[in-house]
Amino acid sequence: MAGINAQAIKELRERTQAGMSDCKSALTEAEGDMEKAVEIILKKGLAKSAKRAGASATEGEVRAAVAADRRSATMVEVNIQTDFAARNDAFRQFVGDVLAAAEKAPEGADVAQLSIGGKPVADVATELTARIGEKIAVRRWDRVSVPEGKHGVAHAYVHLGGKIGVLVAVEAASQAVADHPEVQKFVEDTAMQAAAMSPLVLRREEITEELKAKQKEIFEAQLREDPKPKPESAWPKIIEGKFNKWYSEVALIEQESVEAASRGVTGQTIDKLREAAAKAAGGEVKLTRFVRYERGEGIAKKEDDFAAEVAKMAAS
């Protein structure tokens, strides 16, 4: 069946950590659809983990910059086909030019239509594609900022040489509070937390009803597949517990701090660290927004079937 081969099974194993036979069965049941296969494994409770994004489709770079007044931070993602070409000086210069253009752009502007040296970004990308010989795509950009009349700070963190980027914005009772060393440390640690733990939302209230409904289906399917099934009358309480655990994984402020855990301190959520920083600084601190980019996330990547290529070469 199309879509079910050793490479597909390998990808599904990497995404879910389920057993090979379980991955093969799930792909067969899903008729080769990778996302459906992930959902099947989740519902059967076979996944040790499930990455929300598929394999990275493209190379390139995520780059970010903080404004001089630290009231805004901007981030861009620019893709290219290979890691080798991503290290090309011309490509890296282009990424910098795109970021500089995005920093000046109004909110919601079409990145392709921003200007570099009097030319639209899309045209410059096309010209550079011809020079380098690999397709270049300016995929997206975003900005976090502290509103006029508010006190606060914006921060940017880029990890693994441009593979992951995070923007964070914080509002505070005063600029002195925002500039306090403990608040600055909280902002930096929160950005690294988002990079490491891939939260979906800032707060659980931001999760859509559609996503919650889908997650409930997964929880119910897990209960049905349980070898020691619980009575259905107990399901609502069990599902409530499962939801609370899920919220602690996908909502940034509810996640347990990786940095605190690395020091042997457990049970410290991001929100508890915010409260501690606010107390140390002597004023309210509010985490208002974060943005996380991972290079190539969510883009389907063409994978070569090496076994098929070898067979084809042997037959020729």
Cα 282 from Cα 217, distance rounded (Å): 45
pLDDT at 306: 40
Instruction: For the chain, give every domain's residue range.
Output: 1-55, 59-200+288-294
- Per DSSP, the three-state class of 46 is coil
The predicted-structure confidence for 68-107, as pLDDT tens digits, reads as follows 999 999 999 999 988 888 999 999 999 999 999 999 999 9
Cα 100 from Cα 84, distance rounded (Å): 24
pLDDT at 69: 97
SS3 sequence of 143-155: EEECCCCCEEEEE
Cα 260 from Cα 270, distance rounded (Å): 10
Contact call for residues 47 and 114 (beta carbons, < 8 A)? no
Q: Which residue has the tokens 């459906």?
A: 36
Cα 64 from Cα 60, distance rounded (Å): 14
Cα 18 from Cα 44, distance rounded (Å): 10
Q: Is-same-fold flag (1-55; 59-200+288-294)? A: no
Cα 129 from Cα 42, distance rounded (Å): 40
- Per DSSP, the three-state class of 113 is helix
- Give the dihedral sign, CA 13/19/25/26: negative
Cα 312 from Cα 209, distance rounded (Å): 48
CA-to-CA separations, 310 to 276, 278, 316, in angstroms, rounded: 60, 61, 10
pLDDT at 229: 87
Classified by CATH at the fold level, domain 1-55 comes out as: Helicase, Ruva Protein; domain 3 (1.10.8)
- How confident is the prediction along the chain (316 residues), in pLDDT tens digits per residue? 556 888 888 888 878 778 888 889 999 999 999 889 888 888 887 765 454 433 333 799 999 999 999 999 999 999 998 888 899 999 999 999 999 999 999 999 999 999 999 999 999 998 998 888 788 999 999 999 999 999 999 999 999 899 999 999 999 999 999 999 999 999 999 999 999 999 999 999 999 999 999 999 999 999 999 988 899 999 999 999 999 999 999 999 999 999 999 999 999 999 999 999 999 999 999 999 999 999 988 776 655 444 454 444 445 4
Contact call for residues 71 and 152 (beta carbons, < 8 A)? yes
* Overall pTM surpassing 0.85 (yes/no): no
pLDDT at 299: 75
Joined together, the tokens standing for residue 266 give 């457990």
Cα 120 from Cα 179, distance rounded (Å): 38
pLDDT at 3: 63
Residue 107 main-chain phi, psi, to 5 deg: -55, 135
CATH superfamily placement of domain 59-200+288-294: Elongation factor Ts, dimerisation domain (3.30.479.20)
